[in-house]
DNA sequence: CTAACCTTTCCAGTAACTGGAAGGTCAAGA
DNA sequence: TCTTGACCTTCCAGTTACTGGAAAGGTTAG
């Protein structure tokens, strides 16, 4: 059993975040010491690491909750997991398309702008 | 002079958002009626439209505040505006790189996953 | 024993709204 | 004139996923 900062270090998360995950019941501490300190075991640390990876992939806390449920469920099917990952992939692709058209438009404006000391600016003109 | 819902319609923003922009002093209502209703003129509506465009471009409220300052300043230089736009462009490019590597990794996992009724799942394995 | 460092809970703040409640205003129709 | 419905106002709370800080208590090394 380790205390919260050891669990945080082992999972690569800030202590505050580990406490937060316990608060929202995503990865609760499996036990408390006499003094009320959270005590984490190996299994919980693995869950913290799992959640950190999933968060880095952009899964929301609620999606992490689902994934964690599947992670702990020996009877899960890979189809269930794949479906969540595919949903996330589509979100990423949608975001990419949005960013690209944004970038194209902004690039055109930046290119058209002299960027000198004069007040004439196609960017401002476009926004107006 | 028009009331808030007319200004909202003219700018394409929700009424709540127009009120919010007034609250945070981004685009204040230029006047009030006797009854306390916000009264918007043409100039303010133009500012609302300007802010909406800039927000659609992903500029933050604080960046909009700067842009609006430049928009209203006849002595601005196009260099000032261009610099803000370029900063935003770099942020977009950074986000694009992050999304791409995320997508690559997630795509590999999704491809490797059978997505069938069996519990074996490379996605879960990877996250663990 | 004390200093340093750990832990706890709770409260507030972040960005940019959004929803809702309670209550005042206004224009049109019976 | 009264009422109905669509406006408007302010204020409070909630959203996401933490993060910072305060106050108070626990633990450990010297």
Q: Which nucleotides of C are covered by protein (CB under 7 A)?
A: 6-9, 15-19, 24-26
Residues 4-23 of A with CB under 7 A from strand C: 4-6, 15, 19
pLDDT tens, chain B, 128 aa long: 999 999 999 999 999 999 999 999 999 999 999 999 999 999 999 999 999 999 998 899 999 999 999 998 888 898 999 998 898 898 889 888 888 888 888 888 889 888 889 888 888 888 77
CB < 8 Å & 24+ apart, contacts of B11-18: B11/B45, B11/B48, B11/B49, B11/B52, B12/B49, B12/B52, B13/B48, B13/B52, B18/B48
Q: How far apart, in whole angstroms, are the C-alpha atoms of residue A127 and residue B51?
A: 8
- pLDDT the model gives residue A27: 97
Average predicted confidence (pLDDT) for chain A: 92
3-state secondary structure at position B28: coil
* Interface test with chain A among B43, B49, B56, B78, by most A beta carbons within 10 Å: B78
The contacts of residue B21 (CB under 8 Å, 6+ apart) are B13, B27, B48, B51
Query: DSSP H helical segments within B1-128, as ranges?
Result: 4-11, 15-23, 42-56, 61-72, 78-112, 122-127
Give the pLDDT confidence of A27-65 residue by residue, as tens digits.
999 999 999 999 999 999 999 999 999 999 889 999 999
Give the pLDDT confidence of A62-76 residue by residue, as tens digits.
999 999 999 988 888
């Amino acid at each position: 059993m380790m205390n919260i900062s050891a669990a945080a270090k082992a999972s690569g998360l800030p202590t505050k975040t580990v406490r937060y995950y316990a608060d929202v019941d995503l990865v609760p501490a499996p036990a408390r010491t006499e003094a009320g300190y959270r005590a984490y075991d190996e299994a919980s640390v693995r869950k913290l690491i799992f959640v950190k990876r999933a968060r880095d992939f952009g899964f929301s806390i609620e999606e992490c909750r689902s994934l964690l449920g599947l992670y702990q469920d020996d009877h899960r099917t890979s189809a269930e997991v794949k479906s969540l990952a595919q949903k996330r992939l589509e979100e990423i692709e949608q975001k990419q398309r949005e960013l690209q058209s944004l970038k194209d438009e902004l690039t055109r404006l930046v290119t058209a702008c002299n960027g000198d000391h004069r007040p004439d600016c196609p960017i401002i003109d476009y926004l107006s």
